[in-house]
Structure 1
């Protein structure tokens, strides 16, 4: 089992590496040695998104809380934490709700930090608050996954749009190889990542491209949602792929 220490050391190397291609190479070498579940978890942790992107729950642990917890604990001698240990505990934290949840979350984090050295703690805290500061974002990670799968970046981007979670995509690549990306299709109740437009600072820039068809729409205030209708009824997802069905019953009624 690959340890969280090894992932933290990779993050340190990525922070000290400035070339994009060099970063991609480091990630490729690391991920190739992992099993499918570890690839799934490591891919999310590397970009500071430890939870599945379509998961409605949140960690709900702030930076000040982390500092408070860090200052409370001391390092104990234990078996090293694996990538799975850390990722699964963070999933557990996200599912804790209700009375006493803050204290329960603190206790789990205390237990994790007690088994980490300084380097691990630093990167654990960055992962939890989602600010990695090592120059690896989704784009860099997708390049690494394209290289691992031996497929084009265009195919990887399409697959990621349809799967909606970079960890799940990485796991499927590990299990099935690069051929899986062309077989991925739209599925009802699996939200699709939205296409993001590029900003245009001047309307004249927009019309510089020759022989291009344009479509203009009014911008209407409101939420951008995906509405899925299938045998299990109506489900509505936010732009961030969260299930918000229960929060807008009036829309369900209209559908």
Structure 2
């Protein structure tokens, strides 16, 4: 299958904002995709090369990409760089460079999807001395044979800046339409495996029956179950039917631990493989969990010298570290607090009640200094739970989680079977979709940001406010550097940003607003932190904001 066909799909997707038309375009493309490419095409359509949980990454920045295009075309890197200033998009500038190509290969041949994917694999897997030169060579070879439109989308795929508006929900619907299967079964299979390639192949080869038989696989992360908010311990007990399991809500990074014999793999909440950055936790897990095959879930907490928890950003610093890891282990020791088991000794456990899963977890984990069971209290007494709540806060934790004892684990679902109890209104994780250049001494940096909630039904991000406070000068410089490659359109001081970056925002209250399409606006929003552990699709949803608004109004009425 020619890569030009995929480039044609990208082009058509960019022309429309209609979700129904995008779904049909992707569905039709999947129908004609050869079986041997179904593993990879869904991710290429999404603008990726590998699933998020695959530890391989291309590791190619703009400079190396421009050098590869320069090598392939004979156009200087400076010319390409100047072109980007005019087009605002390196992909468009690559297309222009290919149109002006000064050199042709006698052995040029049309690009295929297979060749492009295999080249990307080589780029991702090369390592050691001379790896940058090899990456350059691999990329230059495919750009030599690329037509301008192909080069545009090759560049965007390499940089992760595809702008076709295809999100996970749309891919789910496209797979269901392409192979005549039920969308809810596609959703279930994806929630269990986080692998659209596997799901698409299963849907085509085995239909609904095959999707119904999809099971949890050690080594492929499961989409995490999510929680809603309760105003108080008393309200949580009421929602839980009068009795609940209360657990400490740790201020850490949620992780999923897969153990298969001696192999331990750890995934972040965003389902990225963070195993290499936390070898101390890996060894602690091997010591604490003797089971041959299991998947457990917990909260990874950074611990200070006084034994108290440090903010979760410290854990993210550990995740990002690729070099001098031993030094970071000493600076930021970690503690893993496990709260659930999703797979044990050859069988998924998500359909078991939470009380039963907790027993399995307790029999699976032998606590040590770095791996512990989340502290838990099962009670029907509000006063007892309230006391536990205040103990958690005094220890420096965020609050409590309340969990229904009879609840099954529902991957990807945010329901009332788990409730968070915190002393303040919950911060929101929102996506940057626009920004404005600053003024005066900040004229060279982006100074305020349009933030949006996710609408999963439409696959869109709807604005809920602008945030311009809470940032240091260093933050703004870093944000400008990160967001510049994601600028889609620029008009005067305002720039439209591709929705890629998630930030945590605090605020005074949520208000109804006719100004924004979402219908809501945050009053006095303030930046708290980057949420590198979350993908845009994991940002807080419009439904979530509506729930918090209702919760806020009920709370006001009680005062």
TM-score (norm 2): 0.41
Report the counterpart of residue 233 of structure 1 in structure 2.
262
Report the counterpart of residue 63 of structure 2 in structure 1.
64
The answer to whether residue 293 in structure 2 is matched with residue 251 in structure 1 is no
**Residues 36 and 172, structure 1, Cα contact 8 Å, conserved in 2:** no
| Paired residue secondary structure (1:92) | helix
2:273 to 231, 239, 242: 242
**Residues 235 and 243, structure 1, Cα contact 8 Å, conserved in 2:** no
Q: d(CA) in 2 for partners of 1:178 and 1:130? A: 32
Equivalent residues in 2 for 1:4-19 (5 A)? 4-19=3-18
Equivalent residues in 2 for 1:99-248 (5 A)? 99-195=129-225, 212-213=239-240, 218-230=248-260, 232-233=261-262, 235-239=264-268, 240-242=271-273, 244=275, 247=279, 248=281
Equivalent residues in 2 for 1:80-99 (5 A)? 80-99=110-129
Aligned-residue CA RMSD in angstroms?
A: 2.6
How has the CA–CA distance of structure 1 residues 92 and 101 changed in structure 2, closer, same or farther, with 3 Å as cutoff?
same
**Residues 67 and 136, structure 2, Cα contact 8 Å, conserved in 1:** no
**Residues 10 and 164, structure 2, Cα contact 8 Å, conserved in 1:** yes
Give unpaired runs (5+ residues) of structure 1.
none
Q: d(CA) in 2 for partners of 1:136 and 1:190? A: 22
More strand by share: 2
More helix by share: 1
Q: d(CA) in 2 for partners of 1:194 and 1:17? A: 32
**Residues 4 and 120, structure 1, Cα contact 8 Å, conserved in 2:** yes
Give unpaired runs (5+ residues) of structure 2.
74-100, 290-559
How has the CA–CA distance of structure 1 residues 117 and 157 changed in structure 2, closer, same or farther, with 3 Å as cutoff?
same
| Paired residue secondary structure (2:37) | helix
Q: Return the offset for 1:127.
A: 0.9
Partner deviation per Cα, 1:154-199 (whole Å, 9 max, x = no partner): 221110121222122222223323332100011333322324568x
Q: d(CA) in 2 for partners of 1:125 and 1:34? A: 22
Q: Return the offset for 1:19.
A: 0.6
Q: Return the offset for 1:125.
A: 0.9
How has the CA–CA distance of structure 1 residues 30 and 224 changed in structure 2, closer, same or farther, with 3 Å as cutoff?
same
Report the counterpart of residue 54 of structure 1 in structure 2.
53
| Paired residue secondary structure (2:40) | helix
The answer to whether residue 23 in structure 2 is matched with residue 24 in structure 1 is yes
How has the CA–CA distance of structure 1 residues 57 and 241 changed in structure 2, closer, same or farther, with 3 Å as cutoff?
same
Report the counterpart of residue 42 of structure 2 in structure 1.
43
**Residues 81 and 116, structure 1, Cα contact 8 Å, conserved in 2:** yes
TM-score (norm 1): 0.85
Q: d(CA) in 2 for partners of 1:234 and 1:111? A: 36
How has the CA–CA distance of structure 1 residues 45 and 189 changed in structure 2, closer, same or farther, with 3 Å as cutoff?
closer
Q: d(CA) in 2 for partners of 1:250 and 1:223? A: 17
Q: Return the offset for 1:241.
A: 4.6
Report the counterpart of residue 2 of structure 2 in structure 1.
3
How has the CA–CA distance of structure 1 residues 225 and 71 changed in structure 2, closer, same or farther, with 3 Å as cutoff?
same
Partner deviation per Cα, 1:90-134 (whole Å, 9 max, x = no partner): 112111111111110010000010010110011011111112111
Partner deviation per Cα, 1:17-55 (whole Å, 9 max, x = no partner): 121000000111111011122222211111111124332
**Residues 257 and 267, structure 2, Cα contact 8 Å, conserved in 1:** no
Q: Return the offset for 1:69.
A: 1.8
Q: d(CA) in 2 for partners of 1:139 and 1:196? A: 17
